[in-house]
Structure 1
């Protein structure tokens, strides 16, 4: 079973996701320049909301290179000597297949469960003398990774087990050197693109020293901030079968993870430049589709950019029309349900789509259609 989420969301002056030059990201689509918000920034914003929508913190994950420092801190709290603890953890990470550099950071930005640091701490505690001796033999500060034997592989699997981490199950994990720890993502997330042509602009600003002597004039700081304003089409899906498998066939956790995913993605807004733009808007048009198989990204509804003055109404009409055309051409046999809602627009009575009038009704109807 697959849940698809299609959203139309308009943002005023904003720079939600900038490139290396500080400009809002863009993409050429349908031969025209569009505003773009990367899938990575949307996923990060959604992950930050999972605990607000039904998941416990222990059921989520963290991305980090700082396993050495965090595990050392845990051992120090157990009255271990800090320098000894750091050397032991460094050796343990090497034995588990992860090199650590001079700054104490692992080679990879690891995606690990909240329990990983506790498991690693226990491993160091239980093997303290052996790890201490091995570290002394090889020399402190080395970042060489050990070749894992079966025992090392099993311990690494236990420490980095992801079957209780919903966001790893949803978004996957890749560790190039230890493929057995890879997790195939249950959720796919598209880059959001504007439904219309966009042109990036910039704001010229000045700032004045509050303590400047009276009579002195002129700005004490000047600069520019890039921005645009756009109506974005957002798309994501989640494969419930894959999600359940990734979570060790825990049907309850998979159901709560799917519900958290749905609500978090509706509410997810990237944090870029929010202190200076406060672009805290909500999606205006929502379409949730539950299907047995397949997936339809509806971005091609906007291959020809919307040019109407009422961008949201025109974009909504395009979205619903394109979905209807795909159903008519390819058939709706694989579609179990389709639910739509709009804050400001009139969706009419699209064929095969149930129109609801609140976010609670929308999410409950979509999840019920998926058997969650």
Structure 2
């Protein structure tokens, strides 16, 4: 397996970035101790937002996740009489097995923007066929067999990088699914955490002077933590998902490295502003098996000798890295590099000065790796 791994140590100030259904920050037991946690899904969403907002990828190279597929297609067919367009779109979606109820698909669909454009053009070019009869309002509406196959061929991933990275699962149409090229671990604190509560009040600006009570009060849970974050990209799968476009796979992997390193979920940021960049960022690229190094923190890191938890965490991570290399060997071949803003001593990892330099080293490694046969 040709892979790119990203390892991050990141200290986050008091925050509630990723909440559960009760509004509490997510956590988990690990090594017998309660740890701060950020879910993989929340991290992947932050990466996809960065792809769009920074932007790291063009619109054509991205996908959308939505139940409002009918609205999206009708917006692209706004020059066609509305009733005819609606009938054609609904019949096309039913033919694909995407049941439509009250204008929404039954579940969220993850579709590349290029897939949407091609689907629009196919509907436009077959408007008479698709609007000839009433929409049946159920999956598998009858359309010409050849047209149905053409509709299905459109759903090939559309060279959308985020779709290629994170995959697409369609329970009713598994043949239209896409195997994810990236795996993202739940972030865990390297140390034990305890939740804390912030009691807050808000003043009613229009209260008369004699009314001294608060206009509103409440509390919110939070914690602060030094987190270990990990992700891995299967480069062969990424290139296959992008229809063999190796250059796009390279750009997509580098975009993922940058977005994953620099983004976090945005929960309660207006209240906490925990915008804390990573203090340690490392990549490993090569051929072999992936390694999540969370076991470095099975025994929680504890403050000692006045040293920062971040530095102690980096040292524990690098020790675990080297231990596994001694036991199982490195990737073969292997490239690696790190950005270290802590006081920790980093052994056997080439350290660079900034993110730009680290991306350059990663790009060199990935070009050589993707050029390898097999």
Q: TM-score range by the shorter chain?
A: over 0.9
- Computed over aligned residues only, the root mean square deviation of the Cα atoms, in angstroms, reads 1.9
1:311 aligns with 2:312: no
SS in 2 for 1:135: coil
SS in 1 for 2:99: coil
**CA deviation string 1:201-242 (max 9, x = no partner):** 221111111112232110111111111111110000111111
SS in 2 for 1:332: coil
Identify which range, 313-322 or 212-221, moves more after superposition: 212-221
1:367 aligns with 2:363: yes
Structure 1 residue 148: Cα displacement: 8.1
Note the 1:147-162 alignment, pairs <5 A: 150-162=145-157
Q: 1:157 to 1:130 in 2, by over 3 A?
A: closer
SS in 1 for 2:105: coil
* Residue 10 (structure 1) aligns with: 11
Aligned length: 363
Q: Partners in 2 of 1:213 and 1:82 — Cα distance?
A: 55
* Residue 130 (structure 1) aligns with: 129
SS in 2 for 1:231: strand
Structure 1 residue 333: Cα displacement: 5.1
* Residue 229 (structure 1) aligns with: 224
Structure 1 residue 147: Cα displacement: 7.2
Kept in 2, the 8 Å contact 1:53–1:264? The answer is: no
Kept in 1, the 8 Å contact 2:18–2:26? The answer is: yes
* Residue 271 (structure 2) aligns with: 276
SS in 1 for 2:64: strand
Q: Partners in 2 of 1:101 and 1:115 — Cα distance?
A: 25
SS in 1 for 2:302: coil
**CA deviation string 1:54-97 (max 9, x = no partner):** 42121011101111112122222x1x332342233212211221
Q: Partners in 2 of 1:182 and 1:157 — Cα distance?
A: 11
1:43 aligns with 2:44: yes
* Residue 29 (structure 1) aligns with: 30
Note the 1:333-348 alignment, pairs <5 A: 334=332, 336-348=334-346
* Residue 295 (structure 2) aligns with: 300
Identify which range, 338-347 or 3-12, moves more after superposition: 338-347
Q: 1:81 to 1:333 in 2, by over 3 A?
A: closer
| TM-score normalized by the length of structure 2 | 0.92
Q: 1:125 to 1:276 in 2, by over 3 A?
A: same
Structure 1 residue 149: Cα displacement: 7.5
Kept in 2, the 8 Å contact 1:14–1:228? The answer is: yes
Identify which range, 164-173 or 145-154, moves more after superposition: 145-154
Kept in 2, the 8 Å contact 1:10–1:283? The answer is: yes
Structure 1 residue 360: Cα displacement: 1.2
**CA deviation string 1:225-271 (max 9, x = no partner):** 11111111000011111111111111111111111111111111111
Q: Partners in 1 of 2:251 and 2:258 — Cα distance?
A: 11
Q: 1:132 to 1:157 in 2, by over 3 A?
A: closer
1:94 aligns with 2:94: yes
Structure 1 residue 121: Cα displacement: 2.5
* Residue 372 (structure 2) aligns with: none
1:119 aligns with 2:118: yes
* Structure 1 unpaired stretches of 5+: none
1:239 aligns with 2:234: yes
Kept in 2, the 8 Å contact 1:53–1:260? The answer is: no
1:204 to 178, 181, 199: 199
SS in 2 for 1:365: helix
Structure 1 residue 150: Cα displacement: 5.0
Q: 1:217 to 1:273 in 2, by over 3 A?
A: same
1:194 aligns with 2:189: yes
SS in 2 for 1:69: helix
Structure 1 residue 354: Cα displacement: 1.0
* Residue 109 (structure 1) aligns with: 108
Q: Partners in 2 of 1:333 and 1:123 — Cα distance?
A: 46
Identify which range, 278-287 or 307-316, moves more after superposition: 307-316
Q: Partners in 1 of 2:23 and 2:344 — Cα distance?
A: 37
* Residue 74 (structure 1) aligns with: 76
Q: 1:333 to 1:212 in 2, by over 3 A?
A: closer
Q: Partners in 2 of 1:272 and 1:233 — Cα distance?
A: 19
Note the 1:138-149 alignment, pairs <5 A: 138=136, 142-146=137-141
* Structure 2 unpaired stretches of 5+: 369-374
Q: Partners in 2 of 1:153 and 1:298 — Cα distance?
A: 47
* Residue 324 (structure 1) aligns with: 322
